[in-house]
Amino acid sequence: MLQTFLPVFAMTFFICLFIVLMQFLWRYIDDLVGKGLDIATIGELFFYAALTMVPMALPLAILLASLMTFGNLGEKFELTAMKASGVSLLKTMRPLIILILLIAGGAFFFQNNVLPIAQVKMYSLLYSMKQKSPEMEIPEKAFYDQIPGINIYVDEKDKVTGTLYELMIYDMSGGSDNTRIIVADSGKISLTPDKTKLLLNIYQGEQFENLRSTTAGVQSNNLPYRRETFAQKDIMISFDANFNRMDESTMRKQYVGKNITELNATIDSVQARVDSVGKIYSTEIKEKPYFAIQYYRPIYTDSGSRLVKQPEIAMAMPLDIDSLFHNNANLDEASIINQALYKARTFKMDYEYKSKLMEEDRKSIRRHGIELQKKFTLSFACIIFFFIGAPLGAIIRKGGIGLPLVVSVILFIIYYIIDNTGYKMAKDGRIGVLEGMWLSSSVLLPLGIFFTYKAVHDSGVFNIDAYKALWARITGKHKRSLEPKEFTLDEVTPDGAINVITAFNNDLNEFRISYSKMFILKKLIVKIFGTKQSAECLRSMNVLIDYLSNSRNHYVISILNKYPYKISPRDFNQLSDNNEQLLQWFNNEVEKQSRENITLN
């Protein structure tokens, strides 16, 4: 089993890793193209990106590999041969279960020790690449705006010598009020040896520049400008084209660069700060004076003074607000209400602002909690996906990469959607971190248990008719499929048939009369759980079915197939009609036999 599984797993893992790595490339392609980065730097970025993509590729690879492995074994009837030899499916899966547990343990170690370092290096490198200035590649007949504060237009460019013709340069580095415009016949652009500045050598042109005066902080309303004609002009522009790596210490302090111990320490410290600040705010609200009554009152003793809490004020009767207005004849009621509203709104806005300040800490706690739970969810997802893929491969019995790939992608998309939904809800604080991060695992775990149970017991999972029959049996709508028998040991006689039909009809009528006299709640209980009378009625119907199923008459069998498996009040009329039809048919048989006996006599 290991020799079969391991090569397939290695192949699917690197395929899945390559696919998710391409997704990373398309996401950040705009930040990498045109920056003049060397191959070693790009290769380093992709190496760290591949490490950070392992948590996404590993569960999918396990699912696909287990599906392909057991699908191939089922398609070649090797699983059938194992079961015929007395080797159960769980015993067949045992070495792979041990392997998956070891992979899950390795995934936990990877998440806790390797992934934080890889994420710090990847994000630091990616941020440094985003900050790097693009290479100088000025297009023809279009404005080039990659130089900060400067736009350059070139009408024509000599690709051999690098000479630019018909230049227009808009220099807005001094602000929109001090824009400088340069028009030149030709020129060249080059980088200084240290790649920190641009050198513009331009020929045969003019320069226009606003000269807004801001001397002593007073701006003049007059806008003089300067015009300059030149044969040659050299301009230096700050333009750092070097690749400067970001300091990793900043990123290492973020949640992506911490292991379990550091995450727990950060959560505890931030939570303690939130609790202490919240306690201060709650104390302020509690001790704020209302109705000019202070929360504390001073007590003076020989040793000094101290503050004690005011005693509770018990009111003999509810406060009459109208009486307060009448006792303040000098004040306008509208003025009193407006003052009260102003104080309440100010109080509310103050603490809403304080709550916003605490929101960043609460968000930090959630992000660190999410990263903490990710250390465990990957390992658990690997185990769940194996117990989904292996039994499912044994059930569908299709090898290769066709159907298993389709099934794997569908299941992984479902997992990814649920996991992403839980992550975003936990990140926004709409649900708890534990509920959000374990949502996908809690949804897929029953699926793995179901597939494993079905595969071990050789049950049909994709047999739609079996599910329809089960649902019909549960709801009592299952149709019988009785057929006339060519030979029976217990022959059906008209008298015996009339007796069992009459007995069932009597029990049915008694049940119907009793049900009609029940109140609504009891009727609902009878529908769900039944009663002793309904059980007796069902027993009489089963006796009728068992006896009349030995009949050789197609008409009798067709009526028996209309009887349900369970007796429900909604079936009373149908059951009565069936009984009447059977009674009428067997009474006719009795009369027919009587006429035949008279004729014979």
pLDDT per residue over 300-318, tens digit each? 777 777 777 777 777 777 7
Mean pLDDT is lowest, of 16-30, 112-126, 238-252, 560-574, for: 238-252
Cα torsion 279, 281, 287, 288 to 10°: value is -170
Task: Please determine, for residue 215, whether its predicted confidence score (pLDDT) is greater than 50.
Answer: no
How sure is the predictor about 599, in pLDDT bands with cuts at 50, 70 and 90? confident
What pLDDT, on a 0 to 100 scale, did the predictor assign at position 462? 55
How sure is the predictor about 214, in pLDDT bands with cuts at 50, 70 and 90? very low
Are 147 and 172 in contact by the 8 Å Cβ rule? The answer is no
Mean pLDDT is lowest, of 101-105, 278-282, 523-527, for: 523-527
Residue 378 identity: L
What is the rounded CA–CA span in Å between residue 158 and residue 161?
Answer: 6
Q: Count of alpha carbons within 13 Å of 365, Cβ hemisphere only? A: 18
- Tell me which residue of 378, 359, 351, 355 sits closest to 428, measured CA to CA: 359
Q: How far, CA to CA in Å, does 376 sit from each of 106, 255, 259, 278, 598?
A: 11, 16, 12, 31, 89
pTM of the model: 0.60
Residue 369 identity: G
Question: Which tokens belong to 52?
Answer: 């950070």
Are 251 and 120 in contact by the 8 Å Cβ rule? The answer is yes
What pLDDT, on a 0 to 100 scale, did the predictor assign at position 80? 82
Stronger pLDDT, 159 or 83, i.e. the higher one: 83
Q: How far, CA to CA in Å, does 232 sit from each of 153, 156, 167, 191, 202?
A: 18, 19, 13, 18, 6
What is the rounded CA–CA span in Å between residue 451 and residue 335?
Answer: 73
- Tell me which residue of 415, 441, 370 sits closest to 56, measured CA to CA: 415
Tens digit of each residue's pLDDT (9 = 90 or more) over 381-427 = 999 999 988 888 888 877 666 777 788 888 888 888 998 898 899 88
Burial 584-596 (b: 16+ CB within 10 A, else e): ebbeebeeeeeee
Please name the residues in contact with 333: beta carbons below 8 A apart, sequence gap of 6 or more: 325
